[in-house]
DNA sequence: TTTGTTCCTGTACGATCGTTCAACAATGAA
DNA sequence: TTCATTGTTGAACGATCGTACAGGAACAAA
């Protein structure tokens, strides 16, 4: 007669749950170990499962990574959108909330850059990753363009080129974020927000026909 | 009696020349193949030598890569400095020349970003790479701060925070450069320069005590 | 209790990685 | 011409990679 209580050697899970757990483990592994974390053995260890399980739920590593990228970017933009929705309905306040969301946790984290760099490095050779990248850029860009459009409409400055404006603001945001992640002690998150606000100020002033000279 | 003319199986070179050739081949390989180009076999193939030669001239791969990084960044900042020196001695014109240099070949090239991404990915785990990175950032930052200082002095706008200003401009520059490299058909290099010029305009206007309100 | 489904494990395979090293050969000096 | 120097080659090593696959085990249904 064997023992009445036996600890099972592993716990079965629904395929969907396990897939998500593997995706989460992939992101964690990339954040923690960078490019070295991009290995089925590291990912499996992070998820607490065996090596073979990955290829049971995903046809190959590349697909897992691409889906992780998709999840990663969707989560970030969803957080930005949520921050905007929580802000007062004033265009300026909503844009400010967006800035705050970009320059605070969990987005403002060197480990997030570490993961981004891995994804950037992959997208040149994997069409699947490239597709996920385009999708992410579109979501982020549309959100930012909408915020800018509202602002411009409210301010009544008609002469703004929406395309170029959003390109500039995106660059400033990404550039500041990148700079901070590469060297967090260089400046404070608040200062990054201030710089973005100053850019907006300048934008609203510039497009009104110059007052002097 | 053997043939009078025999083609040598390989050509010997001075150690210094060969080292430089290997460094050049490393950069080429990273530009061309991204992270996959970071392999002694790829690099040796690119340089047209055998695998073993690398460890004859460098103690290990990491050292070769770190020195390549150093060479890569020095070359870029040297080009920026040269562009500035060639411009008329007017602060505004020199800054414009700097912008033009950033947003034109050979700096404005998706392959350059490909190489950068590999280096960024390495610097988290290699102190040698990190040192090269800091050195590069210092050179670039000092050049930009000097240009901004001259501009501010000439314009006579005393209230500018030089630290924060250079952080903002660096972010705008890097962000635009990154955006263009990730998707070159998104905007034209001229437009990037215009955005930077507009930022400078806004800067000079902002710091003068506000005229109205 | 038995059976079937499928989630899961872990070994194995071939490929490629960085590094080592003994042998080779190009070149200049003797 | 011979010799010594040293830049160069390429096979070999152990480690690690992604993937395949046969077998084991958890859980639900019968």
| Phi then psi dihedrals of residue A83, to 5 deg | -60, -40
B169 vs A199: CA distance, rounded Å: 11
Determine the residue among A32, A108, A121 to mutate to test chain B binding: the one whose Cβ has the most chain B Cβ atoms within 10 Å. Answer: A121
- The alpha carbon of A148 is separated from its chain's Cα centroid by a whole number of angstroms, namely 20
- 3-state SS assignment for residue A17: helix
CA dist A180 to A185, A187, A192, Å? 8, 7, 9
Write out the H or E segment, with its range, that includes residue B183. none
Nearest nucleotide, CA A52 to C1': C9
* pLDDT at residue A160, rounded to an integer: 85
Chain B residue at shortest CA distance from A37: B121
pLDDT tens, A11-24? 999 999 999 999 99
- Distance in angstroms (rounded) separating the CA atoms of residues A43 and A35: 12
- What is the pLDDT, as a whole number, of residue A41? 98
List, run by run, the mean pLDDT of 10-residue segments along chain B (213 residues). Answer: 61 96 98 98 98 98 98 96 96 97 97 98 92 93 95 84 95 98 96 96 67 39
Contacts with A81 (C-beta within 8 Å, 6 or more apart), sequence order: A143
In a mutagenesis test of the B interface, which of A99, A116, A117 is the best target, namely the one with the most B β-carbons within 10 Å? A117
Q: Which nucleotides of D are covered by protein (CB under 7 A)?
A: 6-12, 16-22, 25-27
Q: Which residues of B touch A (CB under 8 A)?
A: 34-36, 114, 117-118, 120-121, 124-125, 133, 137, 163-164, 167-168, 170-176, 178-179, 182-183, 186-187, 191, 194-195, 198-199, 201-203, 205-206, 211
Phi, psi of A105 (to 5 degrees): -60, 150
Examine residue A68 and say whether the peptide bond preceding it is cis (omega within 30 degrees of 0): no
Lowest mean pLDDT across A37-41, A150-154, B142-146: A150-154
Average pLDDT, chain A: 92
pLDDT at A206: 67
Q: At what angle do helices B162-182 and A189-207 cross, to 10 degrees?
A: 80
Ramachandran quadrant class, A34 (left: phi over 0; alpha: psi -120 to 50; beta: rest)? left
What length does chain B have?
Answer: 213
Banded pLDDT at A2 (limits 50, 70, 90): very low
Percent of chain A with pLDDT over 70: 93
Looking at the complex, report in whole angstroms how far the Cα of residue A50 sits from the nearest Cα belonging to chain B: 26
Residues of A with CB under 8 A from a CB of B: 34-36, 114, 117-118, 120-122, 124-125, 133, 137, 163-164, 167-168, 170-176, 178-179, 182-183, 186-187, 191, 194-195, 198-199, 201-203, 205-206, 211
Work out the burial of residue A15: count CB atoms within 10 Å of its CB; fewer than 13 is exposed, 13-18 middle, 19 or more buried.
exposed
Query: Within 13 Å of residue A193, how many CA atoms lie on the same side as its CB?
Result: 17
As a whole number of angstroms, the distance between CA B168 and CA B190 comes to 20
Task: Please give the domain boundaries of chain B with CATH numbers for all domains.
Answer: 13-58 (1.10.10), 61-207 (1.10.357.10)
* Residue with more model confidence, A207 or A28: A28
pLDDT at position B16 is: 95
Tell me what pLDDT residue B158 has. Answer: 73
B74: CB within 7 A of chain D nucleic strand: no
A147 touches strand D (CB under 7 A): no
pLDDT of residue A135: 92
């Amino acid at each position: 007669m064997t023992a009445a209580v036996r600890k099972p050697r592993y716990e079965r899970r629904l395929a969907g749950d396990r897939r998500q757990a593997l995706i989460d483990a992939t992101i964690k592994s990339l954040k923690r170990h960078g490019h070295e974390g991009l290995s089925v053995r590291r990912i499996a260890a992070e998820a607490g499962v065996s090596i073979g399980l990955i290829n049971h739920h995903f046809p190959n590593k590349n697909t897992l990574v691409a889906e992780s990228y998709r999840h990663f970017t969707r989560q970030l933009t969803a957080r930005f959108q949520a921050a905007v929705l929580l802000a007062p309905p004033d265009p300026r306040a909503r844009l400010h909330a967006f800035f705050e969301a970009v320059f605070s946790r969990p987005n403002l984290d060197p480990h997030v850059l570490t993961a981004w760099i891995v994804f950037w490095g992959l997208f040149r050779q994997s069409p699947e990753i490239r597709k996920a990248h385009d999708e992410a850029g579109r979501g982020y860009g549309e959100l930012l363009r909408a915020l800018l459009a509202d602002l411009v409409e409210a301010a009544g400055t008609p002469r703004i080129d929406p395309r170029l404006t959003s390109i500039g603001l995106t660059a400033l945001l990404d550039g500041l974020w990148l700079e901070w992640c590469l060297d967090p002690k260089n400046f404070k998150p608040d200062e990054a927000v201030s710089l973005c606000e100053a850019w907006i100020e300048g934008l609203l002033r510039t497009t009104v026909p110059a007052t002097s000279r």
